[in-house]
Amino acid sequence: MGVVIEFKNVTYTYPLTTEPAIKDINLSIEEGKFYGVIGENGSGKTTFCNVIRGFAPSFYKGELKGDVLINGLATTDYEEGQLALTIGYVFQNPFNQISGVKETVFEEVAFGLENFGVPVDEIERRVIDIMELTDITHLAEKNPFELSGGQQQRAALASIIVLEPDILVIDEPTSQLDPEGTESVFKIIAAMKKAKKTIILVEHKVDLIAEYADEILVFEKGHIIKRGITQDVLSDMSLLEHGVQLPQMARVGSELIKRGVKLDYIPVTTKQATEQLQQLLGKESK
Amino acid sequence: MKEKKYSIKKDFTLLALLLIPIAVAINFAGGQLASLLKLPLYLDTIGTIFVAMLCGPWVGGLAGLITNLVLGIANPIYIPFAIVNVAVGLVTGYLARKGMFANWWKWIISMVIMALASIITAAPIVVLMFGGITSSGTSLITATLMATGAGIWGAVISTELVFTVLDRIISFGITYLILRVVPERTLIKFSLGAAYIKTKKTAETVEEVTEADEDVDNL
Amino acid sequence: MWQEKLRIKKSNPIHGLYPFTKMWITLLYCICAMILSTITIDGYPVYMMASFLIIPVLAAATGVLKKISGVIKSIAIISLFIVLIQGILIKSDLILYSLNVFNLFNINFYTDSLQYGLVLAFSVLNMGCMVAWFFGATDNKELINAFEKRGMGPKASYVLLSTLQMIGVLQKSAKTIMSAQQARGVETEGNVFVRSKAFIPSMIPLILGSITNTEERVLTLESKGFLVKGEKTRLFDVKPNGKEPIALTIGILYAVAILIWRILLWVL
């Protein structure tokens, strides 16, 4: 599969600071894969997203060393605004992801498509579909300012994925959601993956990351300290010492192995854990 | 800050444009609150002064224009006075660009220039269009002065002089207070914002701020 | 269909006119008022004064009289003061009427000044109220949409629309903050200095909050393709209601008639 995002020796420093927020990052992001980004607070995850989208340095100013290439072209070489066509970026605070000029959620979700110059009939069709997918159809006529945190988060997600960008960068989309809402957001993101989108998701809920992500990037103090296939990374118990949260199943699994239970591998998802336990129970009953 | 080539287009960044609605809203809220508190002032140029000090004369002037046009939707009397608000923005922005808010004596000169600009633009409108009347209580003073024999121009200008200078001093004072508490990482994003950054903070504190919002909701 | 749903429905034929048509009518009316101010009887701008009556009638026919009656009232008060100040305080040769107050002093109305005051006052009244009619009969959204179709840039229209929205929001939160300050015991009554001291701390958190929001708003707009090059489309679309030619014809006929009258008076 092709490489869509490439980091070459990337170091980025915010203005008025001396310590870089991300350091020496070399990385290739492959097309159509789902990347989970984890790490402690302030480890550089959001900066990483901003650098991909080009907001750092175009908006945040500061100093970017090295190259960030999106489809082979450096973010700093893109014409102002054009990256929106390639990268959909849903950021953390859902309360400010409102255009401020639309009176209904429907129009709010349609705002980006209007900017893209999509014909009106097509806008209607796409917005209706996306609102269905993100389960906000019932909010269509509400004022976006009057939505709850969770509703705003869904609306924010909807108004970006309706643009059908090739790359989705999503920064903690579930902070305002209950477990049920969180699960459904992950299902939406998984659906995007099926549609061959490349996904970069910053998320603290590792149990869900374990289930959906293909690969994991672990940030610490601006560095990527570990990366690889989800199964390998999330079963690495040494990460716990770096303050990284690991899935509950992995922790239970490794504890079991430590106590002498013979597991084939450390499970990271509930499904794997169930499989292993069934296998184990099957062995015993023989 | 380094000398850089100046262009109007550069002034109108998206951030500067988005500050305009806020400036207008501040003007509006200032005017509303002033009348709510029954102050004998307008306080309806605070936003214009603020945005002009951060983004320069053109953005400031535009903020002034939009303020009075929007106010004019509710009451068209405000529309001719747009020119006053535009003048406030242009003059303040120009003074800011020339570094005329750097110390106390420049500050006083700027204050006088800003007040003069307002009076020069306001007085003709008040006299020629409205025959000496404005919608504020200061009109009573103008009328009293005229009753004691002052000419209409003299009466309008002297009344405006006192209250405009007072208004600008207070408005500028408030603007200054706001600028002092705007985070530096925000200031730096505006074309004239760097001028208001005094102390260089240590790297850690700023980084903390920058990344702090990342994880508010994670607990 | 949403396009249909979003359209602002106006059954009144004048109310539903295209924004620019209403704008032309407003402009023609204001020009006519100025022309009429030069046609006087014994020095009084009687025709201009009489033409003002058109506005309440027009507003009633548009169905916005109630909506703009407050503005009309406040402009009328200012106009009244203009007449009084001019007529009494600006001295001229001829005294029209002298009012004796308790045998203490006289209040004189000067003829020339009063006439000039009436011209000023009715200019303000005519133009102010006509513009008030225009804004009363035109939704901001429609007006901005019409301008956009005439080539106004998306940035300009965004700034205007969000200004109008934000004023509504800020008005609300200013009230909330004021009442919160009051509840915390911050003085909003008392003398000017006490009140001023309450004013400043109530403003600053408000402003700081909105500035912080602005930063994220920039990123939001960029993410939603606000700066993408090329034509934008609009779901909301203001359309003419078909009565525009009639309305414009009436307006132009009125203007032409007054212009001819004015010229005839000069020539004859």
pLDDT grade for B201, boundaries at 50, 70 and 90? very low
Please tell me if residue A45 touches chain C, with a CB cutoff of 8 Å. Answer: no
pLDDT at C202: 67
Chains that touch C (3 or more CB pairs under 8 A): A, B
Confidence grade of residue B200 (pLDDT, cut at 50, 70, 90): very low
The CA-CA-CA angle for residues A170, A28, A50, to 5°, reads: 35
**A16: β partners:** none
Q: Which amino acid is at C153?
A: G
Pairs across B and C, CB distance < 8 A: 160
Tokens 């998206």 — which residue? B14
- For chain C, what is the domain count? 2
The alpha-carbon gap from B132 to the nearest alpha carbon of chain A, in Å, equals 39
Mean pLDDT value across residues A191-209: 92
Candidate from A88, A117, A123 with C-beta closest to C230: A117
CB atoms within 10 A of CB A65: 13
Query: What is the Cβ-side half-sphere exposure of residue C219, based on CA atoms within 13 angstroms?
Result: 28
pLDDT value of residue B211? 41
Q: Three-state DSSP class for A245? A: coil
Q: Is the same domain home to C105 and C189?
A: no
Say yes or no to pLDDT of B43 above 80: yes
**Closest-CA residue to C157 (of C234, C242, C98):** C234
| Percent of chain B scoring above 90 in pLDDT | 32
CATH of residue B53's domain is: 1.10.1760.20
Q: Is residue C200 part of a domain?
A: yes
Instruction: Of C68, C153, C33, give the one whose Cα is nearest residue B62.
Output: C153
Residue C181 has pLDDT above 90, yes or no: no
Banded model confidence at residue C200, pLDDT cuts 50, 70, 90: low
Inter-chain residue contact B76 with C135, CB threshold 8 Å: yes
Chains that touch B (3 or more CB pairs under 8 A): A, C
Torsional sign, CA A14, A17, A21, A27:
positive
Q: Kindly list the residues from chain A whose CB atom is less than 8 angstroms away from the CB atom of residue C226.
A: 81, 84, 115
Number of domains in chain B: 1
Highest mean pLDDT among A50-64, B156-170, C192-206: A50-64
Mean model confidence pLDDT for chain A: 91
What is residue C207's predicted lDDT score, i.e. its pLDDT? 78
Residue B204 pLDDT class (50, 70, 90 cuts): very low
Which residues, 6+ apart, have CB-to-CB distance to B123 below 8 Å?
B153, B156, B157, B160
| pLDDT above 80 for A3 | yes
Query: Is B3 within 8 Å of chain A by CB?
Result: no
Which residue did the predictor score with more confidence, C266 or C247? C247
Backbone phi, psi, residue A44, to 5°: 110, 10
For A235-267, what is each residue's pLDDT tens digit?
999 998 888 889 999 999 999 888 988 888 888
Least confident of A4-13, B33-42, C128-137: B33-42
Asked if C170 and B29 touch (Cβ cutoff 8 Å), the reply is yes
Q: How confident is the model at residue B5 (pLDDT cuts 50, 70, 90)?
A: low
Average pLDDT of the segment spanning A68-81 = 92
- Chain A to chain C, count of Cβ pairs less than 8 Å apart? 105
Which A residues in the span 64-93 are in contact with B, Cβ-Cβ below 8 Å? 92-93
* Co-location of C123 and C22 in the same domain: yes
State yes or no: pLDDT of B71 exceeds 50. yes
Are C258 and C216 found together in one domain? no
pLDDT in the model for residue A71:
94
Say whether A41 and B207 touch across the interface (CB within 8 A).
no
C99 and C11 both lie in a single domain: yes
- What percentage of residues in chain C have a pLDDT greater than 90? 57
Kindly determine whether residue C121 and residue B33, on different chains, have CB atoms separated by under 8 Å.
no
The region of weakest confidence among A127-141, A197-211, B26-40 is B26-40
Residue B180: its chain C contacts at CB < 8 A? none
Distance CA B152, CA B155 (A): 5
Residues C48 and C127 in one domain: yes
Q: Are residues C85 and C53 in the same domain?
A: yes
Instruction: Say if C4 is an interface residue toward chain A (CB within 8 Å).
Output: no
Percent above pLDDT 70 for chain B: 84
Residue C238 placed within a domain:
no
A14 lies within 8 A of chain C by CB: no
**Structure confidence at residue C193 (pLDDT):** 65
Question: Is C206 in the same domain as C158?
Answer: yes
Pick from B168, B190, B163, B172: nearest CA to B50 = B172
Please return the burial class of C34, using the count of CB atoms within 10 Å of its CB with bins 0-12, 13-18 and 19+: middle
Place B174 in a pLDDT band, splitting at 50, 70 and 90: confident
Does B162 map to a domain? yes
C21 plus C125 within the same structural domain: yes
CA-CA distances (angstroms) from residue C33 to C24, C54, C116, C122, C266?
14, 11, 15, 9, 17
Query: Given B15, B188, B216, which is nearest A16 (Cβ)?
Result: B188
How far apart are alpha carbons C69 and A196 in whole angstroms? 60
3-state secondary structure (DSSP) of residue A25: strand
In the prediction, which pLDDT does B164 show? 86
Structural tokens at position B76? 């068209």
pLDDT of residue B207: 41
The Cα-based distances of C245 to B111, C17, C78, C143 in angstroms read 52, 10, 36, 19
Q: Which domain range does residue C164 map to?
A: 145-223
Chains interfacing with A (3 or more CB pairs < 8 Å): B, C
CB interface of A with B, residues 133-152, below 8 Å: none
**Neighbouring C-alpha atoms within 13 Å toward the C-beta of B19:** 32
Quick check: C196 contacting A, CB < 8 Å? no
Residue B187: closest CA among B216, B212, B209, B215: B209
Q: What's the confidence (pLDDT) of residue B210?
A: 42
- Residue-level pLDDT at C122: 95
Residue B16 in any domain: the answer is: yes
pLDDT of residue B208: 41
> What is the 8-class DSSP label of residue A264?
S
Q: Give me the residue label for tokens 């002064």.
A: B49
Phi and psi of A65, rounded to 5°?
-110, 150
| CB of C267 less than 8 A from some CB of A | no
Instruction: Say if C219 falls within a structural domain.
Output: yes
Assess whether C34 and C128 both reside in one domain.
Answer: yes
| Residue B83 token pair | 């020119």
B68: containing domain: 12-215
Is residue B4 domain-resident? Answer: no
Question: Could you tell me which residues come within 8 angstroms of residue C230 by beta carbon, excluding any fewer than 6 positions away?
Answer: A116, A117
CB of A11 within 8 Å of any CB in chain B?
no
| Mean pLDDT of the region B150-165 | 86
CA-nearest residue of chain A to C144?
A101
Residue A200's DSSP bridge partners are: A35, A169
One domain, residues C25 and C90: yes
A101–C161: do the CB atoms touch at under 8 Å? yes
A117 close contact with C: CB closer than 8 A: yes
DSSP conformation letters of C111-177 = HHHHHHHHHHHHHHHHHHHHHHHHHHHS-HHHHHHHHHHTT--HHHHHHHHHHHHHHHHHHHHHHHH
* Domains of chain A with CATH codes: 1-86+198-243 (3.40.50.300), 247-286 (no CATH)
Which residues in chain C touch residue A113, judged by CB atoms under 8 angstroms apart?
233
Q: Is C228 inside a domain boundary?
A: no
Q: Nearest chain A Cα to B211, which residue?
A: A42
Q: What is the pLDDT of residues A104-119, one digit of tens each?
A: 999 999 999 999 999 9
- Asked whether residue B218 carries a pLDDT value surpassing 50, the answer given is no
Q: Is the peptide bond before B183 cis (omega within 30 degrees of 0)?
A: no
Helix (H) / strand (E) element for A201: namely strand A198-202
* Three-class secondary structure of residue B92 per DSSP: helix
Instruction: Please report the pLDDT score of residue C194 as a whole number.
Output: 67
**Residue C189 maps to a domain:** yes
**Residues C33 and C104 grouped into a single domain:** yes
- CB-nearest to B203 from A18, A46, A47 is A18
Same domain, C253 and C132: yes
In a domain, B2, yes or no: no
Q: Taking CB atoms and an 8 Å limit, are C224 and A100 in contact across chains?
A: no
Here the tokens at position C266 are 């000069």
Residue B3 counted as domain residue: no
> Sheet of A73-74: strands edge to edge?
A22-30, A3-13, A63-70, A73-74
Residue A264 CB-density burial (10 A; 0-12 exposed, 13-18 middle, 19+ buried): exposed
| C43: pLDDT strictly greater than 90 | no
CB contact under 8 A, B131 and C121: yes
